[in-house]
Amino acid sequence: MKSFKYLLLFVLILSGAISSFSRADERKLTVLYTNDLHSHFEPHIVPWVSKTRKVGGFANIATLVKREKASNEHTVYFDAGDFFTGPYVSSLTKGEAVIDAMNHLGLDAVAAGNHEFDHGWKNTQYQFAKAKFPILNGNIFVKDTGKLVWNKPYIIKKVNGIRLGIIGLHGKFAFYDTTADEMIKGLDARDEEVYLRKYIKELEGKTDLIVLLIHQGIPGTQSSGGTGDVARNHKKDIELARNVPGIDLMVTGHPHSGTPKPLVSNGTIIVSTDAYTIELGKLELIYNKETDKITSHKNTFNYLFDDEVPDDPQMLKIIKKWKDKVKTITDEEVTTSSTALTRSYSEESLLGNLVADAMLDAFPGNDFAVTNSGGLRQDVDAGAVTVGELISAFPFPNTIVQLQMKGSDLREMFEHGAGLTNGILQASKGVEMSYDESKPIGKRVVKVEIKGVPLDDNKTYKVITSNFLADGGDGFVMFKKTLKYKNTQIEILDSMVKFLKKFNRYEPNIEGRVKKL
C-alpha cells in the first residue's frame, strides 16, 4: 500500500511537471494589423461609423502601436497593402509622404497593394527604396529581367522565440483588375497560389508559423455607405486557405471589409480591417511550441475614435511637414457647393455626376461620358470646394480618352456595371440608365437612353472615359472593342477644376441618370 502511495505521488509530480512544462512552452504573440490605409493621415468622418466623431489617422495609430509595443514586447504590426492613394498628400508626392510617415508607424512588415502602382511601377520601386520597414511581394515580376519588381518575397522574424515566416503576395486577378494598364506595362503578375506553395516549402523547417500578408479579392466598395457581407467579401481568402495548407495567419486587404470576428478556413486565421485607418486590429495568439499549434486566439477590433486616443506628437509633425509642402496647391478654392458631393457604388451620385460632366465639358462634341464608381475615393463637403478636396475625391493621374463604340458593346459595358462587382458606371448628363438587381448578372439593364433615345445596338457612339476604363480596368474589358481610341492627355482632375470654376455656386441634383429599380 505504501509503495502504491509513493507511485501515486510520483505520477502526480511527473504529470505536474509535464503540464507546467507544456504551459511554459505556451508562448504569447500579439499581432496588430491594418490594410488599405490609403494615406489617411488624419482622422475623418466615416458616416456609417459615426456622423459626428472622427476616426482613424496615422497619429492615432502611431500612439496605439507604441503603447502596445511598450506594454508587451512580443507584439508585431503588419499591414496588407494599399497605403498609397487617398487624401491628396499621397497623389501630390506620388506616395513619398506616405512612406515617410510609415517609417514612423512601428511596422514590422507590409505587403504591396495595387495602389502602390498608381504612379507607375518605376515610381513604386523608387518610393519603396525609402522604406525603413520590409515591404514584401513574391509574385509580381519585371518581364524584361524576370526578377521580382521588389526584392523581398518573405522575411523570417523571431518574436518570443517563435520563428515567423512572413510572406507577401498580391492576388493576380486583383492586380490586373484594379491597376491602370499603362502604369504596370512591363510587369508580369503571376499566380499567387503557385508562389505561396513555393515559399511555404522554402520556409519549411526554418519557421514555426507562416504569416501571409496578401492583397486580393473583390475591390472595396467606394460608397458613402458601408460594406456588406464579410465572408462574401473575403471569399478569395477563404478559398486560398482551403487550397494551400500551412498558412497559420492571413492578414488580407483590398475588399475593405473588416473582421470583428476572425474568419477561420482550413485552420488558417484570417483577419482584415475596414480600411482608411478606421480600426487597428489586435490579434492575441497563444502558440504552443511543443505541439506546434496556435491553441487560442482573441481578436480586439474597435473603431479608432480620435477623441479617445491622444495623437503621437512626432507623427503630427511629419503630417504637418507634408501638408505644408503642398499647401499652395491644395488650399486654392474652386467654387462653393450647395450640398455635399457624395458617392454611391450602385446608383447615380453627385460626385460621379461631377466627374463625368467635367470630362464631357472638356470635350463637348461627344455623346456622353462615364467613369467608374471605384475611382471616387472621398466625399466633398458642402461649402467651399478646394483643389485639395478634389484631389482627395479623385486621387488618380488618369487622363481623358475619346472612344467610338458600338451600341451593343456599350450595352455590355452598362451590364458589367450593373453586375456591381466593381460598382456601377457613373454617367454624364444625357444618359438615362436603369437596372434590376434581382435579375441575373448580364441581364440586369432594363433601360438605356442616350439624349432621350434608346441605345441602338448597331449605331456607333462617341464616348468619353478615363484611360483606366478605356484600357479595361475594373473588369470593363468591353472598352477594348472600341473602334477608335484617342488619349487626349488631359487629366480628369484638371477638367474637374476647370469645370467647377465656371460656377459661382455649384448646385447639383440627383437627376435619375443611373437608377436601381
CA–CA dist 61, 86 (Å, integer):
17
End-to-end CA distance of the chain: give it in Å, rounded: 85
Which one, 176 or 363, has the nearer CB to Fe ion?
Answer: 176
Min dist CB 82 to Fe ion, Å, is 4
Locate all alpha helices (DSSP H) within 172-312, ordered by sequence. Answer: 172-178, 192-203, 230-233, 235-243
453-454 and 249-253 beta bridge pairing? unpaired
Min dist CB 80 to Fe ion, Å, is 9
Assess 113 for contact with Fe ion (CB under 5 A). yes
CA–CA dist 380, 359 (Å, integer):
18
Min dist CB 219 to Fe ion, Å, is 6
Min dist CB 278 to Fe ion, Å, is 15
Taking residue 439's Cβ as centre, other Cβ atoms within 10 Å add up to 13
Assess 379 for contact with Fe ion (CB under 5 A). no
- Residues 6+ positions from 43 with CB-CB distance below 8 Å: 54, 55, 56, 57, 60, 306
Crossing angle (nearest 10°) for helices 313-330 and 58-71? 170
Which one, 412 or 474, has the nearer CB to Fe ion?
Answer: 474
Per-residue cell: 51: 456622423
Residue nearest to Fe ion (CB): 254
Q: Are 497 and 390 in contact (CB under 8 A)?
A: yes
CA–CA dist 506, 503 (Å, integer):
6
Q: How many residues bind Fe ion (CB under 5 A)?
A: 4
Which one, 36 or 347, has the nearer CB to Fe ion?
Answer: 36
Assess 114 for contact with Fe ion (CB under 5 A). yes
Interface mask toward Fe ion for 72-91; x: CB under 5 A: ----------x---------
Which one, 114 or 378, has the nearer CB to Fe ion?
Answer: 114
Which one, 82 or 208, has the nearer CB to Fe ion?
Answer: 82
CA–CA dist 31, 251 (Å, integer):
10
Min dist CB 171 to Fe ion, Å, is 9
CA–CA dist 413, 482 (Å, integer):
11
Which one, 42 or 82, has the nearer CB to Fe ion?
Answer: 82
Interface mask toward Fe ion for 232-271; x: CB under 5 A: ----------------------x-----------------
Min dist CB 220 to Fe ion, Å, is 7
Which one, 113 or 395, has the nearer CB to Fe ion?
Answer: 113
Min dist CB 215 to Fe ion, Å, is 6
Which one, 114 or 422, has the nearer CB to Fe ion?
Answer: 114
Which one, 58 or 84, has the nearer CB to Fe ion?
Answer: 84
Q: Which of 166, 171, 172 is nearest to 153 (CA)?
A: 166
Min dist CB 252 to Fe ion, Å, is 10
Which one, 37 or 427, has the nearer CB to Fe ion?
Answer: 37
- Residue 475: DSSP 8-state: G
Assess 170 for contact with Fe ion (CB under 5 A). no
Min dist CB 114 to Fe ion, Å, is 5
Please return the burial class of 98, using the count of CB atoms within 10 Å of its CB with bins 0-12, 13-18 and 19+: buried
Locate all alpha helices (DSSP H) within 283-398, ordered by sequence. Answer: 313-330, 350-362, 387-393
109-111 and 135-136 beta bridge pairing? parallel
Per-residue cell: 232: 462574401
Min dist CB 216 to Fe ion, Å, is 9
- Can you give the binding site for Fe ion, defined by CB under 5 A? 82, 113-114, 254
